[in-house]
């Protein structure tokens, strides 16, 4: 169990990486080699996030979990890293709930193991405000072309009002896949069930006015597709 004062971040690193199969066939996408030394992406991500104030990481693993655990062993000399392996694919929401339960977390940060977001995370560090019915705080970042991601619409109060579909070109804010989440966001879902955070949980929370937004201004790259994986490697070699 974590202390109330430490910043704990779940890293969703159990995906199959199907969109990277053309360039990555022998390992999960979180271990995609990058840079001149072919270091695992996950290692670079955890080191960067530690400099942004994360005290402890809990890896949510699935596909090829033992390979990921072996890869991060050298980091455990310097960083606090635990791992939870889901018994079967649970989707993003199911994986978060399963990991929070296993690690005895009531509230924590959550990010994706294929996303690089080198930003000031102070807007996510403060505890959620239950008096304002805040159950999830979403980090949002502005990209030059949001057609691949969709967009986020806001209310004047800073609450998330809804989501814009993929395909619309132009710059604008997107869901950066970085959250602060309270376990009550998953009320009604049982531990071990499979469901999506984005499709099954967020719409209901948004409708209830329980999702706030905070801007995250920094370098954002999702390495989940080959072109952006190559772009990240060129930038950080």
In this prediction, residue 229 carries a pLDDT of 86
Q: Is residue 188 part of a domain?
A: yes
Backbone angles phi, psi at 221, to 5 degrees: -145, 130
Residue 176 forms part of a structural domain: yes
**Mean pLDDT (whole number) for 190-216:** 97
Q: Which pLDDT value is given to residue 6?
A: 87
Task: Judge whether 1 lies within some domain.
Answer: no
The single-letter DSSP state of residue 107 is E
Task: Indicate the range of 64-73, 108-117, 149-158 predicted with least confidence.
Answer: 149-158
Q: What is the mean pLDDT of residues 60-89?
A: 95
Q: Residue 3 domain-assigned?
A: no
User: Of the segments 22-26, 129-133, 228-232, which one has the largest average pLDDT value?
Assistant: 129-133
Query: Could you tell me if residue 46 is inside a domain?
Result: yes
Supply the pLDDT for residue 117. 94
Q: Is the dihedral of CA 153, 214, 106, 99 positive or negative?
A: positive
pTM here is 0.94
Q: What Cα–Cα distance (Å) separates residue 51 from each residue in 55, 82, 135, 190?
A: 9, 18, 26, 34
Has residue 2 been placed in a domain? no
Task: Report the pLDDT value the prediction gives residue 226, as an integer from 0 to 100.
Answer: 85
Note the pLDDT of residue 59.
98
Q: Which of 20-34, 81-95, 125-139 has the lowest mean pLDDT?
A: 20-34
Q: What is the pLDDT of residue 2?
A: 55
In the predicted structure, residue 3 carries a pLDDT above the cut 60: no
- Give domain status of residue 84, yes or no: yes
Residue 23, domain extent: 8-235
Take residue 155 and report the two structure tokens written for it. Answer: 């209310």
The pLDDT assigned to 167 comes to: 85
Report pLDDT for 21: 64
Q: How many domains does the chain have?
A: 1
Most confident of 17-21, 119-123, 169-173: 119-123
CB 78 within 8 A of CB 54: no
Residue pair 223/114 in contact by the 8 Å Cβ criterion: yes
pLDDT attached to residue 16: 67
Interaxial angle between packed helices 65-72 and 41-51, expressed in degrees from 0 to 180 and rounded to the nearest 10: 50
Write the pLDDT tens digit of every residue in 109-118: 999 999 999 9
The CATH number of the domain holding residue 103 is 3.90.550.10
pLDDT at 89: 93
Using DSSP's 3-state secondary structure scheme, residue 109 falls into strand
Predicted pLDDT at 22: 64
In the predicted model, is pLDDT for residue 35 greater than 70?
yes
What's the pLDDT at 78? 95
Residue 220 forms part of a structural domain? yes
The whole-chain average pLDDT of the chain stands at: 91
Beta-bridge partner residues of 212? 137, 159
- The residues near 155 (Cβ < 8 Å, ≥ 6 apart) are 161
């Amino acid at each position: 169990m974590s202390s109330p004062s430490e910043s704990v971040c779940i890293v969703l690193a159990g995906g199959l990486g199907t969109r990277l199969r053309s360039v990555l066939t022998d390992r999960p996408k979180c271990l995609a080699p990058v840079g001149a030394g072919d270091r695992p992406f996950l290692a670079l991500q955890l080191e960067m996030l530690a400099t942004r104030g994360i005290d402890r990481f809990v890896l949510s693993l699935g596909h090829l979990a033992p390979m990921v655990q072996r890869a991060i062993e050298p980091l455990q000399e310097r960083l606090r890293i635990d791992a939870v392996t889901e018994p079967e694919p649970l989707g993003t929401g199911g994986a978060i709930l399963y990991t929070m339960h296993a690690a005895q977390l009531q509230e924590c940060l959550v990010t994706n193991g294929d996303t690089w977001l080198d930003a000031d995370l102070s807007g996510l560090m403060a505890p959620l405000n239950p008096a304002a019915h805040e159950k999830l705080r979403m980090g949002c970042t502005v990209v030059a072309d949001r057609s691949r991601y969709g967009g986020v619409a806001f209310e004047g109060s800073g609450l998330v009002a809804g989501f814009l579909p993929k395909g619309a070109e132009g710059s604008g804010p997107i869901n950066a896949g970085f959250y602060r989440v309270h376990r009550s966001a998953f009320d009604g879902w049982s531990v071990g069930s499979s469901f999506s955070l984005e499709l099954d949980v967020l719409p209901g929370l948004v409708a209830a006015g329980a999702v706030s937004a905070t801007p995250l201004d920094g370098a954002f790259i999702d390495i989940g597709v080959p072109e952006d994986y190559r772009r990240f490697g060129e930038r950080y070699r």
